[in-house]
Amino acid sequence: MLNRRIVLDHRPSGLPTPDIFRVEEVAVPELTEGQVLLRNRIFAIDPAVRGMLDDVKSYMPPVAIGGLIPTMVLGEVVRSRHPDFREGDYGRAFAGWETYSVLSPSQVGFENVHVSPDLPMTAYMGACGWSGITAYVGLKRYGEMRDGDEVLVSAAAGAVGSVAGQIARLSGCRVVGTVGAADKARIVTETLGFDAAIDYRAEPDLGMALDRAFPDGIDLYFDNVGGATLDAALPRMKAFGRIPVCGMIANYNQQTEPFPIRNLWQMVVNRITMRGFLAYEAADMVHEAEAALAGWIRSGELIALENVATGLESAPDAFIRLMSGQTTGKTLVRLDQDVSIFPN
Amino acid sequence: MLNRRIVLDHRPSGLPTPDIFRVEEVAVPELTEGQVLLRNRIFAIDPAVRGMLDDVKSYMPPVAIGGLIPTMVLGEVVRSRHPDFREGDYGRAFAGWETYSVLSPSQVGFENVHVSPDLPMTAYMGACGWSGITAYVGLKRYGEMRDGDEVLVSAAAGAVGSVAGQIARLSGCRVVGTVGAADKARIVTETLGFDAAIDYRAEPDLGMALDRAFPDGIDLYFDNVGGATLDAALPRMKAFGRIPVCGMIANYNQQTEPFPIRNLWQMVVNRITMRGFLAYEAADMVHEAEAALAGWIRSGELIALENVATGLESAPDAFIRLMSGQTTGKTLVRLDQDVSIFPN
């Protein structure tokens, strides 16, 4: 049995291009004791992968030349030599862009996912998966969100931002999102129910736009981007404002010359707390987050915004579109047309 | 009775110069009910005053042209129309550069200070006053200091840094300080007992100096300066590193063009928590801090590093020397030679 996989051909400089990836076929190895074979159904495409393509220190080791591109997958167990997993089980794991993955659940994170017939399977890779969990723990734990907070969310039409803004709204906050296009501003307000959106590309002065949106200042800034948006938000935080930092995508394409932040001294002026976090490390809150997110999706109060491409070979292009800022919602790749979005 | 006072003649641009201040004499007003008259004995000169000399938003309102320069004073009550204070009491208050202050203790912060005969009176304005309290709560609460932490302190020969490094040492941490002169490096290691000091002006590359001082990374960076030191520390923080931010003096003289921080995206890589804080707002910890600091000073384990000028008219020069980075320890002004350093 053959496994098709996408590996790193050479390192990118700046924005990734299709030529840095190549497809190869290798045999699927026999399982050894304790392993499972996953047939991958959905990839979650994540901007954090960008950092792993460079040969620099990050919270994940860099991808080797010729190495598999890492990704979160949702797959179906098709063979098992592990006592806890059976054929037909679904699971989420950090694997790679490949059709089959051989995993040792006791060595890598492998979560059994009980796919529910009343949720689309893609939701487990987006709004009810790690994107949604990131939004939830970022606001509630690292952002100490309170009822009535005035909340700013950057990359508000993105995978995490789109959920974060909706959770803030559902938690009694006023929420404003920043986006990079007029159509995204419309999605954020009309589809997702944000109180307002700022299209930063249409604003001659982002700070003045924030002044208009937050005449009394910002209690909580859920930061997905860093860069100019963070710099404009810092002087507009209220006293004791909180900035959970989920990502600084503005820098992922330009690590040698990241955007210069000039207003950080406002940390003292406004006694701001800023926290970088990874949702995986708030393990004790995951079940609470999943239950809340699934409930809101089922009731229709939370929209799971997604863009889905089809076929293993579409993964590089989906990643490049994500990094160029053209996408809305969670970027997913389903591996073949016959992945039923609603299982059974 | 005449009150001599120093007021703002005009606003500075960049580093303050003596001409921006002028001395004036006004009559001491009669007390009204609820007021006390303080004869000021010691001023604490604080870099935060720099921000108040500009006409911009800060955590304190700007000083008006012709207005009194704000400062923390230690004074003796010489008249009282307040039931809780009697002549001969000592108190600490946020007043101004003037020989006498009329205060309403119920309206402004006025703390009775029980000056102890076995501590120098100046300590209540430095290592056992708000500088020491700032160091204590910054490390313990906002920096979540733990036994065994590897701690970096910037402005390590300064009023707060000199105490912070000693508290870290006394709490079982390894501590390295950054300073801006060779003689300060010697004071920090030989007098204050830091494990090492880095003279950043003598280092061609501050980052490489930090790499040598912290081969395994930094757990806690007590930031007094912001700017280039913060930027060099960010990529060298361990996972879950903490950065309590007490001040960003690097920016106080150049608010229109603050130092650009380029490594802030390391907040996510290293899941850093950074907190701007004011010690006054950790009110519930103040007694614990004062007791610990007084105990360490009495036992000789903690050195109260001070530089003391004499006479009201020396205040502008003391402030200018402080802002130019030439001082070590707490910068104080005692108003006349007959202030006994040890009361009684």
The DSSP line for B182-200 is HHHHHIIIIIT--SEEEEG
CA distance B120 to chain A (A): 31
Interface residue A261 vs chain B (CB under 8 A): yes
Q: Supply the pLDDT for residue B343.
A: 40
Q: Please give the pLDDT value at position B159.
A: 93
Sheet-wide strand order for B196-199: A196-199, A174-179, A150-153, A218-222, A237-245, A273-276, B273-276, B237-245, B218-222, B150-153, B174-179, B196-199
Q: How far apart are CA A234 and CA B338, in angstroms?
A: 47
Residue with more model confidence, B14 or A166: A166
Q: What is the mean pLDDT of residues B44-55?
A: 87
Helix axes A286-299, A159-170, angle to 10 degrees: 80
Pairwise CB contact (< 8 Å): B268 & A258: no
Q: Which H or E run contains B91?
A: strand B90-96
Query: Could you tell me the pTM of the whole model?
Result: 0.87
At residue A207, the pLDDT reads 97
- Looking at residue A243, what is its pLDDT? 98
- How does DSSP classify residue B34? T
Q: Which of A122, A125, A111, A108 is nearest to A283 (CA)?
A: A111
- List CB contacts (< 8 A) between B269 and chain A: 51, 57-59, 276
The pLDDT confidence band at residue B186, using thresholds 50, 70 and 90, is very high
∠ CA A255-A256-A258, nearest 5°, is 60
| Beta carbons of B265 and A258 less than 8 Å apart | yes
- What residues does each domain of chain B span? 2-126+304-334, 132-280
Find chain A residues with C-beta within 8 A of B229's C-beta.
none
Which helix (H) or strand (E) segment is A199 a member of?
A: strand A196-199
Distance from CA of B251 to the nearest CA of A (A): 7
Contact B200, B224 (CB under 8 A): no
Contact A131, A330 (CB under 8 A): yes
Question: In 10 A of CB A283, how many CB atoms?
Answer: 9
Locus of tokens 């979650």 = A44
**Contact with chain A for residue B283, Cβ under 8 A:** no
What is the tens place of the pLDDT at every residue in B83-100? 999 999 999 999 999 999
| Own/partner long-range contacts of B106-111 (Cβ < 8 Å, ≥24 apart) | B106/B34, B106/B82, B109/B280, B110/B36, B110/B85
Q: Which two tokens stand for residue A181?
A: 């296009």
Interface contact A276-B261, CB threshold 8 A: no
Residues B229-247, mean pLDDT to the nearest whole number: 96
Comparing alpha-carbon positions, the chain B residue that sits nearest to A235 is B57
Tell me the pLDDT tens digit for each residue of B309-338. 999 999 999 999 998 888 999 999 999 765
The residue among A169, A196, A174 whose CA lies nearest residue A185 is A196
Q: Is B262 on the interface with A (CB under 8 A)?
A: yes
Could you give the CA distance from residue B308 to residue B159 in angstroms, rounded to a whole number? 12
What is the average per-residue pLDDT within B77-85? 94
Per-residue confidence (pLDDT) for residue A341, from 0 to 100:
44
Nearest to A233 by CA among B264, B223, B63: B264
Low pLDDT (below 50) residues in chain A: 339-344
Looking at residue B49, its pLDDT comes to 87
Paired tokens of B163: 């105490």
Cβ distance B59 to A246 less than 8 Å, yes or no, reads no
Contact (Cβ atoms closer than 8 angstroms) between residue B241 and residue B272: yes
pLDDT in tens, B241-253: 999 999 776 555 5
Please name the residues in contact with B2: beta carbons below 8 A apart, sequence gap of 6 or more.
B25, B26, B27, B28
pLDDT tens digits for A24-75? 999 999 999 999 999 999 999 988 888 899 988 666 789 999 999 999 999 9
CATH number of the domain at A131-280, please? Answer: 3.40.50.720
- With CB atoms and an 8 Å threshold, state whether B258 touches A264: yes
Q: What is the CATH class of B132-280?
A: alpha beta
Query: What residues of chain A lie within 8 A of the CB of B251, using their CB?
Result: 265
The distance of A185 to chain B (nearest Cα, Å) reads 26
Torsion, CA A281, CA A283, CA A288, CA A294, rounded to 10: 80
CB interface of B with A, residues 149-188, below 8 Å: none
Q: Which of B248, B258, B265 sits opposite A268 (nearest CB)?
A: B248
Does the distance separating the beta carbons of B268 and A245 come in below 8 Å?
yes
- Give the model confidence (pLDDT) of B112-137 as tens digits: 888 888 899 999 999 999 999 999 99
DSSP state of B140: I
Better-scored residue on pLDDT, B105 or B198: B198
Q: End-to-end alpha-carbon separation of chain A, Å?
A: 26
CB of B244 within 8 Å of a chain A CB? The answer is no
Q: What is the pLDDT, as a whole number, of residue A60?
A: 74
Touching check for B239 and chain A: CB below 8 Å? Answer: yes
Kindly report the CATH class assigned to A2-126+304-334.
alpha beta
